[in-house]
Structure 1
Amino acid sequence: MPRARRSNLSRQSRSARRIRNTANERTEEEQEIAREQRRDSMARLCASQSREQSEAARETARLAMRNRRANNRGQQIDNLRRRTRYLSSADLNRAAFRYDCSNDYSLHPSVCIGQMDVVCEYCGALKFSGETAGLCCLNGKVK
């Protein structure tokens, strides 16, 4: 019977171990010299670039930061939803008559139906993603 291959999760490559070990073995002076060399290298790179190239590099960095922030916001919302106690569908039965302000009803999967971003291929109506296909025009049978 062949052996199962082990996962590479949480493993480091040889080069990653080598880089980590050499960084840990450096003295404070050597680390400062390496930082100064990186600063000089970046200064030379910036001086060699034209104005348009440096503007393009800054714009690329701005867009990358904007994307990272947007992804971080999405992760925060996902974490909030995971931590929030969802109500079961039975709990929503007559919930308006026994409203509890400690529950966030907007996070319930039955309440969050999303945006109307699905377009019907027959009549062009905007629909929610969870709606059935023939709800608006019976799949083109009704004009």
Structure 2
Amino acid sequence: MPRGRRASIGRRTRHASQQQVYSRNLSEERQNIIRENDRLRHRVSTRRSLASYNRLAFQYDPTANYSDDENLDIGRMTTICRYCNALKFKRETAGLCCASGKVKLDPLLTPPQPLKTLFDGSDTHTNTMNCNT
């Protein structure tokens, strides 16, 4: 009959005791630094976990730099819908734009002249508008 595993209770309590002694001997300043580092590490790991991306748009943080996060990069709009010719992202759901051809919209009319020159880039104010976006 095989022997059961040895309990590691003694080792765990010895380690816990060593941790208590170590923590007691730390200066107040060092304890604050360790606490702050733990907070930062926890915040970063929580932010980076994929589960935290669920419904992230509803918890927008204006101080976070989302452009540096490779998990949020969805790429460029390079796919074209075969029904309505809409530009789509590579992994965007098929039929999201026009319900796979079930929705037919009238073509867009040419915008009125002041707006058209801004879109074309032929106006002097276009550069100012583009710099402020």
TM tier relative to shorter chain: 0.3 to 0.5
Q: What is the TM-score normalised by the length of structure 1? A: 0.38
Q: What is the TM-score normalised by the length of structure 2? A: 0.41
